[in-house]
Amino acid sequence: MNYKHLFYFWHVADSGHLTQTAQKLHVSQSALSSQIKQLEDWLGTPLFERRGRQLVLTQAGHIAKQHADRIFAEGESLVQQIKDGSSSQPAVIRIGHASTMSRNFVEAFISDLVHQQQVHYRLHSMTPDQLFTELANHQIDIALANTNVRGGDKQLWQSRLLARQPVSLIGPPGLGIDALTSDALIGRHWVLPPENLSLRSAFDMLSAEYNWQPIILAEADDMAMLRLLTRDTGALAVIPDVVVRDELNSGQLTRYLQLPNVYEQFYAITLKRPFQHPMVIKLLQKFSL
């Protein structure tokens, strides 16, 4: 793609008029129209539709305009940084996180970014498969997940363990549960992760060992949904404390027991490349196990 074509399109998209833009850029109207037509041919779709004397962006045109805004803003920032050593554009870091992760943990991970005016962060929730696709396509700078991934000779990923959160038996107050052998655990309703998750396997082993005879009310692989179900159904759950932090602090829920040798692990996954995003490096520095 010729970026001169994109540059001309960008200016026409702002004004909506070929004649005004041609005069502003000191080019002929026919040359400007030809440049935009070449861009449309290259993209394979119209970017404008004519309404009277005005050019209005199509859906593809709006998408192209959003990208052009970022491209030329970055160009301006580059010039300022090289010439003046400063930039008026905030640094952008794109963070993907698994939809099954605790939102409280994600919030804690980005806490250093919240009050930094020169850093703009974008959060994207997606499935694990989408995380790796977006990483491979350089659509995100770092992925947060609660399952590990290992890179080999043909894999570009590198994984880093950020934290190991204890998993507890959580439920409504006043149940009188003080041990894994407590009779108060027998025949209770539960909300649980699905059977394909390690956290569920740990629960099933404990349940069988102590004969809890659980009545499974609901299953969810989304930690945010498990939090809501635990809070609103009166059922018990095995869940990391960080997921229900606010409910524990407010007294809506009670942590009865910490499960022995059961942890939820949180990983940061990045591409193997010689130069990492500088903000990725800073965010990872505070997590050292």
User: Is 169 exposed, middle or buried, given 0-12, 13-18 or 19+ CB atoms closer than 10 A?
Assistant: buried
Beta pairing class for 254-271 and 142-145:
antiparallel
Which range among 2-11, 102-111, 233-242 has the greatest average pLDDT? 233-242
Give me 144's structure tokens: 């947060």
Q: With cut-offs at 50, 70 and 90, classify the pLDDT of residue 88.
A: low
Give the model's pLDDT for residue 84.
Answer: 55
More confident residue, 23 or 275: 23
Q: Give me the pLDDT at residue 190, please.
A: 96
Can you give the pLDDT at residue 188?
A: 95
Reference 171, options 112, 231, 124; nearest CA is: 231
Which of 240, 244, 242, 236 has the alpha carbon at shortest distance from 175? Answer: 236
Q: Write the CB contacts of 223 (distance below 8 Å, at least 6 apart in sequence).
A: 100, 101, 102, 103, 239, 240, 243
Tell me whether the CATH fold assigned to 91-163+267-285 matches the one assigned to 165-263: yes
Confidence of residue 274 (pLDDT cuts 50, 70, 90): low
CATH 3.40.190.10 fits 91-163+267-285, yes or no: yes
pLDDT at 250: 95
Q: Return d(Cα 60, Cα 158) in angstroms, integer.
A: 35
pLDDT > 60? residue 86: no
What percentage of the chain has pLDDT greater than the value 90?
34
Considering only the top CATH level, what class is 165-263? alpha beta
Q: Ranked by mean pLDDT, which of 138-142, 147-151, 153-157, 217-221 comes out on top?
A: 217-221
Could you report how far apart the first and last alpha carbons of the chain are, in Å? 46
3-class SS at 64?
helix
pLDDT band at 80, cuts 50/70/90? low
Let me know if domain 3-84 sits in CATH 1.10.10.10. Answer: yes
Q: Which amino acid is at 213?
A: Q
Which pLDDT score, from 0 to 100, does residue 180 have? 94
Query: Does 16 or 278 have the greater pLDDT score?
Result: 16
Domain map (residue ranges) of the chain: 3-84, 91-163+267-285, 165-263
Q: Is 188 within 8 Å of 66 (Cβ atoms)?
A: no
Q: Once rounded to an integer, what is the mean pLDDT over residues 243-251?
A: 92
Query: What is each CA distance from 260 to 33, 155, 219, 227, 230, in whole angstroms?
Result: 70, 34, 22, 21, 21
